Amino acid sequence: MAKNMKGKDLISLLDLTPEEIDQILDTASFLKRLHYTGEPFRPLQGKTLGMIFTKPSTRTRVSFQVAIYQLGGMGIYLGADDLQLGRGETIADTARVLSRYLDGIMIRTFAHDDVVQLAEHADIPVVNGLTDLLHPTQVLADLLTLREKKGRLAGLKLTYIGDGNNVAHSLLFGCAKMGVNLTLATPAGHEPLAWVVARAKEEAARRGCQIELTDDPRAAVQGADAVYTDVWTSMGQEQEREQRLKALQPFQVNARLMAHAGEDALFLHCLPAHRGEEVTDEVMDGPQSVVFDEAENRLHVHKAILALVM
């Protein structure tokens, strides 16, 4: 195992070098092979990961808890009722206390600044399991899936269709870092944040790839190696649901849209999927879909991150 990432926080893919992302993906591939051969690998024997959830999750909780267990350590679940993050005790004090008990922290929460503050004051590595702004560990699993299925990353074209949300933001950073051409098709009012796009374009220019934004999903998928979508209404946006459904309906990923991408295009989704909204059953369950391979790769990527930083 490489040592140069020990103690490193993983808050945003923007903070990682392309070499570090490659190292995570290579480590994930290595650990995936060991997983299927049944060969034990427990570099984190005796270590403990605190898992803070103010936003509930199926995949994030299970994959991180299984990841730390398979690496020889133990995970402690800290839900919203167990830890009043920033209420009753400051985030800084929470970070200092947890640093005395734990070897690493994974946090999945709403406000991105909470994660930034936690990492700033903790003496142990902090991993961003999702915020309203970013979802970096998901996109690392997406990149691993693309690399497995297409044999490379640099020069591929990925098209994201739908809401310019936290997944779209992390795709912008991750694709730019790894030389993947990214086109985002979003309706007016649902574009990704302008500063995120600007930073991604700066990175893309260094890596020789393109970032494009459009409101035309059919044009966006032309020549795509993969088509990606996510839910239209994320947790905390329930009051906007009807407006979102109306605005995003023309951006549904269905068989007609996938036909414009071509039969070799993969379909990705970070899950959970709202079938019949952002994607149809025929695409989710069709031959181009790799969503469950992608979901599995969350486990292997999470193992890689923990093994490298803890």
Of the listed 135, 169, 244, 302, which one is catalytic? 135
**Residue 48 sits in a domain of what CATH number?**
3.40.50.1370
Report whether 254 contacts 276 (CB < 8 A). no
36 in any annotated domain: yes
Of the listed 61, 112, 169, 298, which one is catalytic? 298
Of the listed 59, 138, 169, 269, which one is catalytic? 138
Of the listed 103, 270, 300, 302, which one is catalytic? 270
Q: Are residues 253 and 177 part of one domain?
A: yes
Q: Has 108 been annotated as catalytic?
A: yes
pLDDT at site 2: 56
Q: Has 270 been annotated as catalytic?
A: yes
pLDDT at site 42: 97
- State the residue range of the domain holding 166: 137-295
43 in any annotated domain: yes
Tally the domains of the chain: 2
pLDDT per residue, tens digit, the chain (310 aa), is 555 899 999 999 999 999 999 999 999 999 999 999 999 999 999 999 999 999 989 999 999 999 999 999 999 999 988 887 767 789 999 999 999 999 999 999 999 999 999 999 999 999 999 999 999 999 999 999 999 999 999 999 999 999 999 999 999 999 999 999 999 999 999 999 999 999 999 999 999 999 999 999 999 999 999 999 999 987 666 678 889 999 999 999 999 999 999 999 999 999 999 999 999 999 999 999 999 999 999 999 999 999 999 9
Q: Are residues 249 and 122 part of one domain?
A: no
Of the listed 59, 61, 108, 190, which one is catalytic? 108
Q: Are residues 184 and 120 part of one domain?
A: no
Of the listed 190, 230, 269, 302, which one is catalytic? 230
